[in-house]
Amino acid sequence: MSEPKKITTPLTEDVIENLKAGDRVLISGYVYTARDAAHKRMLEEYEKTGELPFDIKGQVIYYVGPTPPKPGQVIGSAGPTTAYRMDKYTPKLLELGLKGTIGKGWRTEPVKEALKKYKAVYFAAFGGTAALLSKHIKSVEMIAYEDLGTEAIRKLYFEDFPVIVANDIYGNDVFQELEEKYRKIDLSKLPQFCI
Active site residues: 39
Least distance (Å) from other proteins to the CB of residue 184?
Answer: 4
Whose CA is closest to 86, among 113, 58, 64? 64
Whose CA is closest to 157, among 138, 133, 134? 138
Nearer to other proteins, 50 or 70 (CB): 70
Q: How far is CA 32 from CA 63, 120, 142, in A?
A: 9, 16, 10
Nearer to other proteins, 65 or 91 (CB): 65
Contacts 24+ apart (CB under 8 A), 20-24: 20/165, 20/168, 20/170, 20/172, 21/165, 21/166, 21/167, 21/168, 21/170, 21/172, 21/173, 21/174, 21/177, 22/164, 22/165, 22/172, 22/174, 22/177, 22/178, 23/164, 23/165, 24/162, 24/163, 24/164
Nearer to other proteins, 90 or 134 (CB): 134
Task: With beta carbons less than 8 A apart as the criterion, state whether 133 and 93 touch.
Answer: no
Least distance (Å) from other proteins to the CB of residue 12?
Answer: 27
Nearer to other proteins, 56 or 115 (CB): 115
Least distance (Å) from other proteins to the CB of residue 90?
Answer: 15
Whose CA is closest to 179, among 168, 160, 166? 166
Least distance (Å) from other proteins to the CB of residue 4?
Answer: 12
Least distance (Å) from other proteins to the CB of residue 58?
Answer: 26
Cα–chain center distance at 173: 14
Residues that bind other proteins in the complex, under the rule CB under 8 A? 1, 37, 64-70, 73, 76-79, 81-82, 84, 104-106, 124, 126-132, 134, 148-151, 164, 174-175, 177-185, 187, 190-191, 193, 195
